[in-house]
């Protein structure tokens, strides 16, 4: 009976132990030959808001508009773009007198702000091919002829021709169709149908010299920002009795450059003890400082198991058009995320369109269930910092809003979403983080096992 009583008591003992902090057990419940040492601690870290001079500006998505937010200030956006030479003219022998009918700039987008705010844009011709690497502080006059506008166009962000119920049913974005001078399309048509000149459509560099592209500027109004703009040129013509069109599109093979002017947001970098900011496309980031020296005093020669970081935003102010959080807007091909990275790695990371590797760079989305940004384990970047024996004992990391391109890949016979390129997010977004003493901490666990054989 005594034996039976002992066996039945075991679950109770284990239940009691499970409720205790494992780190407090030490080695008292382990055999003398198996010594396990556990370090489990919550460490306070610090943060501040910083602004970088400029942000890498190459993307295939445009931003356009002028927008003011009481929490984050003002931003004005425009963009320059080249077009890939895949025109696709067909039945050209049936085009009467070889004349095209019309040319339109097609802009397919999402938006932030007042859908009915009156806005205006101006389209300018580029006077030279764009360079591969530009930053958002670029002056458009470097590559666009600002003295010769091609057209001006008034608009509102909301497409009133499409019902809200249809938008919700099909996930339809909005469109603007801006008429351009027919001369643009006629010159392209003439080149495409001239056997001697048509070779420019098979050589991207030659095409960029012939038709460098367009610059679209926000020149009137405030209240809305068009984001994630897909841009095309449609050239319409009549072949016999058929109405046809050819298309030029902005693709990954060509260059698109976004330019931004931010104002009225100097207060973001007036750091306080309870909040920091992240804003795109302004280059306003949160920098966190991790006291690695303090951590190592506790860890000693143990091996890191996990270093976890969680960040909680403030709820947006009562503002009807509050900005979306970074890492909260997604499409079928792109994910908005928050990147954790060392500042000295940022330029190369974007110019080479890398993806977070889980070793020295990490990314996450905004978790609506926990209302937080969670980095489950950044132990590798802490260990990498220690291994490189820096002169300082403080690891500084930036929180940067990014846009990742993704696709499905097969892993162990299972389809999983996989990022394949990362660019800075140039869509309008902003978040205010809780960074007070009681809010900003990391949890560190480490262990070592020594077995005496």
* pLDDT band (50, 70, 90) for residue 5: very low
Q: Is the pLDDT of residue 431 over 80?
A: yes
Query: Peptide bond preceding 228: is omega within 30 degrees of 0, i.e. cis?
Result: no
Distance (Å, rounded) from C-alpha 241 to C-alpha 264?
56
Distance (Å, rounded) from C-alpha 216 to C-alpha 82?
12
Distance (Å, rounded) from C-alpha 261 to C-alpha 62?
15
Which pLDDT does position 169 carry in this prediction? 62
Q: Which residues pair with 109 in a beta bridge?
A: 174
Which region holds residue 396: left if phi is over 0, alpha if psi is between -120 and 50, else beta? Answer: beta
Residues 6+ apart with CB under 8 A from 277: 49, 72, 268, 269, 284, 286, 430, 431, 432, 433
pTM over 0.85, yes/no: no
Domain parsing of the chain, residue ranges: 27-50+265-451, 59-254
Q: Do residues 385 and 289 touch, judged by C-beta distance below 8 A?
A: no
Note the pLDDT tens digit of each residue in 74-112: 899 999 999 998 777 777 778 888 899 999 999 988 888
Q: Is the pLDDT of residue 180 over 60?
A: yes
57: three-class secondary structure by DSSP:
coil
């Amino acid at each position: 009976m005594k034996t039976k009583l002992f066996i039945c008591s075991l679950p109770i003992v284990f239940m009691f132990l499970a409720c205790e902090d494992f780190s407090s057990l030490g080695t008292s419940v382990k055999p003398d030959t198996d010594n396990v040492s556990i370090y489990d601690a919550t460490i306070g870290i610090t943060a501040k808001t910083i602004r970088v001079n400029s942000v890498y500006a190459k993307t295939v998505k445009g931003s356009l508009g002028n927008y003011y937010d009481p929490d984050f200030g003002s931003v004005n956006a425009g963009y320059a773009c080249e077009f890939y030479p895949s025109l696709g003219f067909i039945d050209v022998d049936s085009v009467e007198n070889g004349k095209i009918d019309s040319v339109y700039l097609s802009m397919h987008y999402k938006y932030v702000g007042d859908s009915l705010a009156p806005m205006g844009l101006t389209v300018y011709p580029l006077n030279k091919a764009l360079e591969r690497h530009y930053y958002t502080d670029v002056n458009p006059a470097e590559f666009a002829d600002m003295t010769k506008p091609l057209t001006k166009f008034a608009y509102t962000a909301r497409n009133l021709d499409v019902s809200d119920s249809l938008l919700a049913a099909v996930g339809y974005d909005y469109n603007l169709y801006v008429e351009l001078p027919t001369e643009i399309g006629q010159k392209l048509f003439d080149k495409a149908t001239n056997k001697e000149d048509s070779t420019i459509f098979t050589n991207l560099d030659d095409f960029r010299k012939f038709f460098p592209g367009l610059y679209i500027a926000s020149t009137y109004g405030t209240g809305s920002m068009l984001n994630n703009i897909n841009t095309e040129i449609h050239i319409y013509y009549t072949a016999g009795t058929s109405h046809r069109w050819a298309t030029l599109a902005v693709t990954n093979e060509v260059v698109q450059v976004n330019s931004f002017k931010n104002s009225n947001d100097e207060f973001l970098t007036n750091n306080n003890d309870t909040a920091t900011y992240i804003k795109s496309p302004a280059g306003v980031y949160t920098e966190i400082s991790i006291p690695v020296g303090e951590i190592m005093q506790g860890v000693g020669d143990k091996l890191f198991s996990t270093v976890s970081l969680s960040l909680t935003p403030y709820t947006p102010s009562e503002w009807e058009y509050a900005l979306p959080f970074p890492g909260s807007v997604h499409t079928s091909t792109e994910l908005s995320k928050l990147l954790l990275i060392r500042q000295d790695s940022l330029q190369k990371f974007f110019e080479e369109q890398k993806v977070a590797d889980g070793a020295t760079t990490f990314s996450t989305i905004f978790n609506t269930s926990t209302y937080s940004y969670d980095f489950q384990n950044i132990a590798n970047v802490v260990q990498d910092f220690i291994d490189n024996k820096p002169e300082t004992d403080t690891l500084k990391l930036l929180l940067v809003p990014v846009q990742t391109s993704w696709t499905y890949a097969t892993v162990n016979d299972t389809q999983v979403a996989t990022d394949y390129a990362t660019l800075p997010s140039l869509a309008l977004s902003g978040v205010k983080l809780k960074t007070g003493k009681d809010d900003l901490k990391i949890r560190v666990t480490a262990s070592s096992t020594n077995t005496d054989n």
